[in-house]
Amino acid sequence: MEEHETLSEATESRINEAVQFVDDEFQRIQKELSARRKSIEKEFTSKRKTVEKRTRKELKRIQTELKKNPIVKRADAVRKDVTKQVETRVDSLLGLMQVASRSDVQRINRKLTTLNKRLKAIEESRKTNGSSPSI
């Protein structure tokens, strides 16, 4: 019976060694795969940045060429002319309807801001002189 126990212990020991070997190999492979993944991510990031840089450079070159193109220049000039004409006609229509235009509202806002600043300055000077402001 003792021989059977020794054989059983030897078998168990070999199985434990095999399991330990498999576990060690699995951990080694995990570390190797992790290192490869990091390397691939780093390479991918580097290549992505290179492609982005080239793309930006090419886009700038194309934009520069387009700005020099007479058709694009003409289209931009036409766009500016049309914008001015539309603004002029809208302003005249608003004038006929007696509605303030955007530029009128902006001008009024600038005047109001200036007046508010002056009023605050007057109030501050009255406070420092000790007299109470009258409304």
pLDDT averaged over consecutive 10-residue blocks of the chain (135 residues)? Answer: 75 92 96 96 96 97 92 93 93 83 88 96 89 56
Question: What's the pLDDT score for residue 133?
Answer: 52
- For residue 108, the Cα-to-chain-centroid distance in whole angstroms is 36
Question: What's the pLDDT score for residue 56?
Answer: 97
92 found inside a domain: no
How many folded domains does the chain comprise? 1
Question: What's the pLDDT score for residue 98?
Answer: 84
Domain limits for position 42: 1-68
2 found inside a domain: yes
Q: What is the C-alpha to C-alpha distance for residues 71 and 63, in angstroms, rounded to an integer? A: 13
Amino acid (1-letter code) at residue 18 = A
94's CB contacts (< 8 A; 6+ apart) are 100, 101
Measured between alpha carbons, how far apart are the two ends of the chain, in Å? Answer: 116
Token match 């931009």: residue? 76
pTM over 0.75: no
